[in-house]
Amino acid sequence: MARIPCYPDAAAMKHTAVLLLSCPDRKGLVAAIANFLLAHGANILHADQHQDAELGLFLMRVEWDLRGFALPVTDFSAEFAPIAQANQMVWRLAESARKPRMAIFVSRSDHCLADLLYRFRSEELHCEIPVIISNHEHARRLADAYGIPFRHIEISSESRHDAEKLQLAVLSEADVDFIVLARYMQILSAQFTARYPQRIINIHHSFLPAFHGARPYHRAFERGVKLIGVTSHYVTDKLDEGPIIEQDVVRISHRDSLEDLIRKGADLEKIVLSRAVRWHLDNRVLVYANRTVVFD
């Protein structure tokens, strides 16, 4: 058997913390955050910010080395609370040393699943994959090849409620942090998505909002488009309307058949989904007002 190459996992080689926050914009926010971290001996490695003038919001991502940081992470919340409360901050803290647990949902098309599993095995994705869930048996061979538990849960219009109940039980048992829909061709209920807010990533085979819903490549071909695109977004209770993480396009000519569109689109789906997953794992995505900031 050919050996799968292994690349260095940058997140595993460092021990950092990432603070993501948003709040009403005002003077002195950067100084307040930097001075707080400096007071506890932080060596800031990356800092990026964005102001939304229309909404009057300040958004920031700051990453620092935990080596030499005098404040235990367990005490961070209590110590940071006065600044957060005074500035009406919505914030979260993540450590690079912890590997988030990612479940993958898939239906018949397994190209995105195969790509994610390869990137996982080659340590491009800093995560654990405790379970793959599918409404078809087709993907079991890939799960078995990578030694990942596979659950086949059939879904019909009559069994949808019971199927989601079983899916949620499996996710809970596996202690899953977030979910990736790798061409999972089922609509999740509002009750399901509410359990994982901003923690379900989907790949949609269209450049949203164009051609949303089912069979977008077919409708794009019928319209004679010159570009097709794909979109990765967080899932909400509104179909295909969640905050967009990443999009990309590929050019189409009059010589391309429907099969060519589908093939080119499938290649693009893998790239865009893997980018979105990587940025989520790196804590680079901040959601606000049904849109996202993806920090450099």
Which residues are part of the catalytic machinery? Answer: 240
Contacts of 272 (CB under 8 A, 6+ apart): 203, 230, 231, 232, 246, 247, 248
* Angular region, 261: left φ>0, alpha ψ -120 to 50, beta rest: alpha
- Residue 19: φ, ψ to 5°: -110, 125
Tell me how far apart the alpha carbons of residues 113 and 136 are, in angstroms, rounded to a whole number: 13
What's the length of the chain?
296
Residues 6+ apart with CB under 8 A from 86: none
Name residues whose C-beta falls within 8 Å of residue 283's C-beta, 6 or more positions apart in sequence. 18, 20, 61, 94
Q: How far apart are CA 180 and CA 106, in angstroms?
A: 9
Where do the H-state alpha helices sit in 19-64? 29-39
In whole angstroms, give the CA distance from residue 161 to residue 144. Answer: 28
Q: Which of 292, 251, 124, 262 is nearest to 183 (CA)?
A: 262
Looking at residue 88, the DSSP 8-state letter turns out to be T
233 backbone dihedrals φ, ψ, rounded to 5°: -150, 160
The backbone torsions φ and ψ at residue 15, rounded to the nearest 5 degrees and listed phi first, read -125, 95
